[in-house]
Amino acid sequence: MSTPQKTILRALAGETLPTPPIWMMRQAGRYLPEYRATREQAGDFLSLCYNPDLAAEVTLQPIRRFGFDAAILFADILLVPQALGLDLAFEAGEGPRLSTITTRDDLARLKPVEAIHDTLSPVYETVRILSGALPPETTLIGFAGAPWTVATYMIAGRGTPDQGPAHALKAADRPLFDAILDRLTLATIDYLSRQVQAGAEVVKIFDSWAGSLRGDDFHAYALEPARRITAALKARHPGLPVIAFPRGAGERFAGTHAATGADCIALDDGVAPEWAAAQVQTGGCVQGNLASAHLVSGGPALVEDTRRVVRAFAHGPHIFNLGHGITPDASIDNVHRMIDTVRGA
């Protein structure tokens, strides 16, 4: 149950706190030896995602080790397209591989949105376990990939450096592309709503490839789906806080609170915190935005830039985080040093 004492929820409600709450994207991951051991126990990545006991365990590991103010559900953004009927596998060292959707016949073969929950039920069970297992002061965050980002993988069958296949389909058959985005938007609403019903107190929408959208497409395929998802979730779950992350938006981060209806905008490290404080934080809570590389290199620069982020956002609601996920080569000692710096130790 959420309580007014949870610092993440207080920041999301617009409160400026003397010390910002802190968590990290991908905080359950390969940089932790306990995660590597649990993943080996699971056998493979997807088996870990779909085993509620083990998925809850890896979600809890960084909370036990570091005392973060929030835990984020351990899952993957590509579970939704798998639940819609696409084949999904993770190749060691190469990332995800999916069957593709590039034609109207492919779209017709996707399952209806209401059919996704049988596949995704283990994820909801993970949320239920976490809701009872987390410390009372720790906020539980659910998440999903944004429709545009998920669509780029579905259309290409893998990750691509420039999301070229998705841009090509968008240019060649806009009605088909819009139909794919619409199906994903509806599925994402239902998926996140079930996470909230299971105990998630906040949800985050990850649009990792939003930055590759240009011109009006940024509004149509990054901001508008986030707005639809946020509005639908808030109608179903009044008071639910939503975090939106249109990674790579650059100067287009300005105005994203109003454009999406999100309570918090997560910032990557491509924008200066001072600029973001003046142009984005004026609209509400912001999250971010220390460069992940600092947790590899450490040293005085880690401390200096951590202090810079805290100082820049000190006059408004702020959740301290990285500008993107922590990397497998990050140092546990550097994570401790970052946390100590944020909390003034």
| 124 carries an active-site annotation | no
The residue with tokens 């199906």 is 183
- Distance (Å, whole) CA 70 – CA 63: 8
| 26 carries an active-site annotation | yes
Catalytic residue among 31, 39, 124, 337: 39
> Cα 92 vs. chain centroid, distance in angstroms?
22
| 104 carries an active-site annotation | no
Catalytic residue among 30, 97, 158, 308: 30
Buried b vs exposed e over 189-206: b needs ≥16 C-beta within 10 Å?
Answer: bbbbbbbbebbbbbbbbb
The residue with tokens 């639940």 is 83
Catalytic residue among 35, 69, 76, 183: 76
Catalytic residue among 26, 183, 228, 252: 26
- Distance (Å, whole) CA 70 – CA 7: 9
Write the burial class of residue 82 (CB in 10 Å: 0-12 exposed, 13-18 middle, 19+ buried): buried
Catalytic residue among 35, 50, 124, 153: 153
| 39 carries an active-site annotation | yes
| 76 carries an active-site annotation | yes
- CB pairs under 8 A, 24+ apart, for 339-344? 339/22, 339/66, 339/67, 339/68, 341/302, 341/303, 341/306, 341/307, 341/310, 342/19, 342/20, 342/22, 342/306, 342/310, 343/19, 343/22, 344/19
Report the catalytic residues: 26, 30, 39, 76, 153
